[in-house]
Amino acid sequence: MDGDMIARLAYLGLLLAAIGGYIIVEFRGRMGQALRTAAAWGLIVIGLMAGYGLWQDMRTDILPRQAVVEGGEIRLPRAADGHYYLTLSIGGTPVPFMVDTGASDMVLSLSDARRLGLDPATLAFIGQARTANGIVRTARVTLTDVTLGPHRDDRIGAVVNEGDLDISLLGMAYLGRYSVEITGGEMILRR
């Protein structure tokens, strides 16, 4: 234990002695009432601590996933799993993405490709990508009318991943169109 820790413990000990002395003087002869009051306050403090802990879990469901603020900047809160998520509108269809600065391209899952009207049976899966799960085949596509907040792009290149991908990935080919800043648990995209 260093000197700083000893000083803190001494301060807390003095504070506890002062509060304890006050309680003994104030409630002498009524210790039952003092214990009930202390138990009530203890439950209130525990309830506040539990509420704060649960808020950390609930806030990602309650708060918006992304927000467009003045000047067209897009703010993405960091999710509980440590990743950033956003939703692009592609041809009028909302598509959720996980932001992946380690991915080169915009990568669509098979299910998102189908939702966008791309039939995987007609795509040419001639490309390859190295992923955490190994090498997967990919098919290059061009997406039209890609919108994020006030920003719209007419034609964006992407790949459809033939592997098992739960959510589409937004890589650097698209993110490079923005200035990206990560600060205070938030990713800020500016154009």
pLDDT, residue 133, reads 73
Distance CA 35, CA 41 (A): 10
Q: Which residue has the higher pLDDT, 55 or 65?
A: 55
- At 154, is the secondary structure helix, strand, or coil? strand
Whether residue 187 contacts residue 178, with contact meaning beta carbons closer than 8 Å, is answered with: no
- The model's confidence at residue 169, banded by pLDDT at 50, 70 and 90, is very high
**Does residue 157 have a pLDDT over 90?**
yes
Structural domains in the chain, sorted by start:
3-62 (no CATH), 67-190 (2.40.70.10)
Residue 23 phi, psi (nearest 5) = -65, -40
Q: What is the pLDDT of residue 94?
A: 94
What's the pLDDT score for residue 113? 93
The answer on pLDDT for 64 being more than 70 is no
pLDDT, tens digit, for every residue of 4-56? 889 989 998 998 899 888 888 888 888 788 788 888 888 998 988 888 877 66
To which H or E segment does residue 14 belong? helix 3-26
State if pTM tops 0.85. no
pLDDT-derived band of residue 63, with 50, 70 and 90 as boundaries?
A: very low
Instruction: For residue range 72-115, list pLDDT tens digits in order.
Output: 788 888 888 888 999 999 999 999 999 998 888 999 999 999 99
Contact assessment for residue 84 and residue 187, using Cβ atoms and an 8 Å cutoff? yes
Q: Where are the alpha helices (DSSP H) in 72-176?
A: 110-115, 172-175
| Band (59; pLDDT cuts 50, 70, 90) | low
| C-alpha–C-alpha distance, residues 93 and 83, integer Å | 23
Closest CA to 86 of 167, 179, 185, 190: 167
Instruction: Using only the alpha carbons of the chain, give its radius of gyration.
Output: 27
Position 73 scores a pLDDT of 85
Residue 160 half-sphere exposure toward CB, CA atoms < 13 A: 23
